[in-house]
Structure 1
Amino acid sequence: MKKIITVIIILSTITFIIFNYNNGEAYGENSKGVNNQKSIASKIIRFHVLANSDSNEDQALKLKVRDKVLAFIAPKMSSSKDINESRNILKKYNNEIQEISQEVVRENGYNYSVKTELNEDYFPIKTYGDITLPQGSYEAYRILIGSAKGHNWWCVMFPPLCFTDITKGNVEVEKTQNEMKKVLTKEEYDTVDNSKIDQNKIVVKFKLKEEIDKFIVCVKDKFKKE
């Protein structure tokens, strides 16, 4: 009975260690990670287009709206020097963006309403090209089509990462890196750089194995003494 209890304790402890590392180290839910996220969020503006639903037709419409809006706003945003200028540009052309979006919806035979907004919202972890933004609150310009219940398309509006290849939705890796490095510190950039994130996960796995091995050795020593 005593050995059974010991085994249960071992399994419970290992589970706790794994959970702690997954939620702490691997996903940046420590104080350092939270501080980095807040600092990163203060330097970027996200762009989201939310489809009416997840039907193939609504998802296709979402991409058509995206393409028209990016074609309109790209020349204006690409020369922006800082986040405040980008924010002012979006506010200045907000009505035009809404009208363009609504026109695309009508041209494709739908009567969905279109709403545009620039505000702060909470977002889960998201990957775009070679960068991954940690979960947290971000300022975002959003286009909501109809019920806005479908999956969204997103990118980073400032720095201007949306405008590299709007026809394919791809991000040119080098351009993305350069644009992000212009506004983020090295530590902040390492937080969103996928190659560094992968390296960190490897380190976490080794740390996790090391902690579990130490615990098992400890338990074995205890059994020997008994």
Structure 2
Amino acid sequence: MKKFIYILMIGIGLTFLSGCTSSEVNENANNEEVVYDYDSVKDELIRFHVIANSDSREDQELKLKVRDEVIKHLEPLLKNSKSIEESRKIIKQNNKKIINIAKKVVKDNGYSYNVQTELSRENFPEKVYGKIVLPQGEYEAYRILIGEASGQNWWCVMFPPLCFVDVTKGSVAYNETERRMDEVSKNKKTEENTDEEYELKFKIVEVLKDAF
């Protein structure tokens, strides 16, 4: 009888583990918004910052013009990138070109602001891209600083490339973007889930050993 009870306990434990995994998948499938876990994506994204000289209407409009021209240049280069390393390499290789593009926009609009760029880690608030929700936290970011860079900034994600979705204000379907976001977070989530499964199975085996 005691042996049967312990075997039953093992069966319940494995069923519970399977049920947790299944309910997590169903919950994500039913939600309209896809909220990504920060630990799963914090080292898998490159975000994009364009910071205006000031908060004046003219400087804010200039910021958006710089944004548009830079994205126009980078979008075809980044859209087929398969990894954050590849995207980082593309950005670095095109850094001088990006600066020149930004400086030309500034000059063509009658300003003499300096333009600087940097690739660094920065803190971002929670951001929603259509159905995709990225949590607040520190991420790698490519930043374009215009003039004093004391104005409000604009941001998006370079890898996976969400900038195109953001600029076109949702005219592009989000299915492909969600798939790529899932890819960059998949491996880490799989590793975490596997660790949890092993831990539970190990505890069950230990209970079985003690019982016999």
- Same topology, TM > 0.5: yes
Query: Which residue of 1 is the match for residue 123 of structure 2?
Result: 122
Counting matched residue pairs gives: 153
The alpha-carbon deviation at position 75 of structure 1 amounts to 1.3
SS at match of 1:153: strand
Higher RCO structure, 1 or 2 (CA under 8 Å, sep 6+): 2
Q: Does 1:141 align with 2:142?
A: yes
Match of 2:69 in 1: 68
Moved over 3 A (4+): 168-172
Whole-Å separation in 2 of the counterparts to 1:158 and 1:186:
16
What does residue range 42-61 of structure 1 map to in structure 2 within 5 Å? 42-61=43-62
Measured after TM superposition, the shift of residue 82 of structure 1 is 0.6
Shift of 1:187: 9.0
* Helix, strand or coil at the partner of 1:163: helix
Identical pairs, percent = 54
One-letter code of the match for 2:81? S
For residues 24-72 of structure 1, what are the alpha-carbon distances to aligned partners after superposition, in whole Å with 9 as ceiling and x for unaligned?
A: xxxxxxxxxxxx4233111111011111112111111111101100111
Q: Tell me the CA shift for residue 151 of structure 1.
A: 1.4
State the shift of 1:123 in Å. 1.9
Inter-CA distance 102–83: structure 2 relative to 1 (3 Å threshold)? same
What TM-score results when the alignment is normalised by the length of structure 2? Answer: 0.66
Structure 1, gaps ≥5 residues long: 1-35, 189-226
Q: Which residue matches 1:98?
A: 99
* C-alpha separation in 2, matches of 1:186 and 1:153: 30
- Indicate conservation of the 8 Å contact 1:74/1:163, yes or no: yes
SS of equivalent to 2:163 = coil
Q: CA deviation at 1:73?
A: 0.9
Determine helix, strand or coil for the equivalent of 1:185: helix
Unpaired segments ≥5 residues, structure 2:
1-36, 190-212
